[in-house]
Amino acid sequence: MRSTTTPTLPAHSALNPLIMLDDVHRAYGQPPVLAVAGVTLRIMPGELVAIVGPSGSGKSTLLNLIGTLDRPTAGIARIDGLDVDDLPDRTLSALRAYRIGFVFQQFHLADGVTALDNVADGLLYAGVPRAERRRQAAVALDRVGLGGRLGHRSNQLSGGERQRVAIARAVVGDPPLLLADEPTGNLDTASGTSIVELLHELNTQGTTVVVITHDTELAGRLPRQIALRDGRVTRDSTGSGTAGALAGSSRAET
């Protein structure tokens, strides 16, 4: 009988949760408004999870917390075994550089720069020399099905292609965790579907993928859905994601 609490296991064991949030709160402004009000959840390595909720439900804030772009005002956020609250900017930045890839609704590609260089920027802060960055970028673009578009500038690409470039940039360093914020939000249905397929594909290759969306149909195509409303988890499709439950350990046994 194995358990995540077994002390003999190394920190990055496949059986330790990649994301562990424990009664996490995030308040903004004065008087404080809680964007995230007590979320507890575990996401294990290799999962493909949708965090779904209407706008204003706190899902973007949750993604920021998971991506270590933001720190909780209360509670514990442990990403990849590291307690976000204890870490200096330097370590968190390194965590983002090596362990987490981000995909945004607006793609955030540099205009007038080739797809290859946009993707190579994903390794800019990981201390990889330029030539090697470009080599790995070509591999990543091939992986997202854009092997023939290396030299295209981002404004010459369609929306779906741009999002593929953005995904390639996120996965070029082969991070264990990919966070996607409304990745299909700016795309038509067909391109959106192909992006979801791509995320599935990356997941089968071993990447843990967390997708934020307000689109329940899209969420329904993913194995696990965590529904969010008013900063709280209202439903976790594994049936154990609600406040206080140890989702991680129950999934570890399956």
Partner 1 sequence: MLRLGTSGLRSRPTRAVLSALGIAIGIAAMIAVVGISSSSQARLNAQLEQLGTNLLTVQAGESLMGQEPELPPDALGKVRRVEGIATATSTATLQESVYRSSLSDPDATGGITTLVADQNLLGVVSGQVGSGVWLNSATETFPAVVLGSVAAERLGVVAPGTQIWLGGTGFTVVGILDPVPLAPELDAAALIGTEIAIDLFDFTGSPTTIYERSADEAVETVRDLLPPTIAPEAPHEVTVSRPSDALAARTAANDAFTGLLLGLGSIALLVGGIGVANTMIISVLERRREIGLRRSLGATRRHILVQFLTEALLLSALGGVFGSALGTAATGIMAGINGWPFALPPVAVVVAVTATLLIGAIAGLYPAVRAARTPPTAALSS
- Binding site residues, partner 1, CB under 8 A: 60, 63-64, 67, 69-70, 89-90, 93-98, 100, 102, 104-106, 108, 110-112, 121-122, 124-126, 130, 169, 181
Q: How far is the CB of 25 from partner 1 (least distance, A)?
A: 16
Distances from the Cα of 158 to the Cα of 104, 149, 154, 200, angstroms: 16, 11, 8, 21
**C-alpha to C-alpha distance for 148 and 190, rounded to whole angstroms:** 20
Closest CA to 100 of 133, 130, 126: 126
Q: How far is the CB of 70 from partner 1 (least distance, A)?
A: 5
Residue closer to partner 1 by CB (options 228, 247) is 228
Residue closer to partner 1 by CB (options 86, 89) is 89
Q: How far is the CB of 175 from partner 1 (least distance, A)?
A: 10
Residue closer to partner 1 by CB (options 64, 194) is 64
Helical spans, DSSP H, in 102-171: 115-120, 130-143, 159-171
Q: How far is the CB of 238 from partner 1 (least distance, A)?
A: 26
Residue closer to partner 1 by CB (options 100, 202) is 100
Residue closer to partner 1 by CB (options 133, 251) is 133
Give strand pairing partners of 143. Answer: none
Residue closer to partner 1 by CB (options 146, 180) is 180
Q: How far is the CB of 29 from partner 1 (least distance, A)?
A: 14
Angle 159-171/189-204 helices, nearest 10 degrees?
20
Distances from the Cα of 101 to the Cα of 24, 81, 96, 119, 220, angstroms: 22, 17, 7, 12, 23
Residue closer to partner 1 by CB (options 27, 245) is 27
Contact yes or no for 77/21 (Cβ under 8 A): yes
Q: How far is the CB of 125 from partner 1 (least distance, A)?
A: 4
Q: How far is the CB of 197 from partner 1 (least distance, A)?
A: 24
Helix (H) or strand (E) holding 179: strand 177-181
The b/e string for 212-234 (b: 16+ C-beta within 10 A; e otherwise) is bbbbeebbebbebbbbbeebbbe
* Cα–chain center distance at 152: 26
